[in-house]
Structure 1
């Protein structure tokens, strides 16, 4: 009986020790990082771990050439997006993918895998590949201590994916279909049927103006928007469209009206915008 009690006490003591150990919070050697980036009509979400150089040679030693790498540490890097995209011109369907890579001295293979549940690259299967692309290696003058991924060169329809670590950086282009989607909405809401919604009319006119489309149609839409619900920003757009059409007198009149409305609304930014527009027209 005494022996049984001792065994129970030892077991209880072991459990207590395990619980105490499990509660210790330790810093991660390769901290997790998340990036959520809106690009045009698409949301890109990236999750990865950031290993550090720590005086080691990375590519060719710590990360061997010619072997599949998790593109980070711990779990493989993942990327998720809610619309179809193009990666260096090649289509990739909306969804979530693990990003593996095969580093080489002059070129990397970037792999988008449908299997996002693996630990590292253990169990990686090429049959799960959704897409592979090859990208050139670029050298950095100064080493990057902790692996970094970021999006740059943002536009309404694309961005650049950049990965840098040690003195190596690789990147590829991501593109989204935007114009077709926007034009489909404009067609169904404004062209196929008439609307007097000032907000829709303003949005469509502004899109046509910024994208260099049919300015005469943009002029009609913004005029209807101003007539229905005049705002200093809609009148300012009207002034810009008239200026682009070469209608100098109408453009200046609209800019002056917008400036007066902006002053009354207490918006000095639009006052300045209209003044600059008037000055540019008069040159």
Structure 2
């Protein structure tokens, strides 16, 4: 894509945040767009957010489980940026009006104690860099109409990022086998899904390795203190005003997201 086209699509996505109206799929108007083009569009938005006072607080890996790849019709992971304004406190009402088409999914969040930079990062390197893990709920959202996304669409749209709720019980990595962490997801008191850490590329640690090695050639380092979301253990579920969603993870505790009551 030409530079002007990249800037134009980035502007349309930013406008969707402002108006609350999703845009048509990018791949329809730009059928030749590549994954590289999509990341350029994503970076254009990130620069705008940073200029507006936001701070990068971490990254997310999306589409890292077979369930999510099947649900979204894609065949590879992607990544997006987590900005300071995306983090919400547990048990505090989240404004659904701030989203377009929100869905929610349970994840094991890594909090880094040391910088991590690829290429060449191994599982051992990644494990040494993790200070602790937290149960988390990611709110995914799409600025693309009806979630009709290709891999290009979701990458350009900051990997369909929306918001993050972190649990408050830190657990050292050495105290848990992430592959075997079981998860139950309740919405409005009803069990809607179960999953396990092994659904995320075999282990969420593999997702962290993938991210570090993917970002490294672009000169990006995962910094100490950054939060990394490695991907969902279940499919994503739509959420609406009045919902309460609880993810309970064996050995890690639980995390609760509360959405504002309908007006």
Fold conserved between structures, TM > 0.5: no
TM-score by length of 2: 0.24
TM-score by length of 1: 0.23
Bigger Rg, structure 1 or 2: 1
- Higher-RCO chain (CA-CA 8 Å, sequence separation at least 6): 2
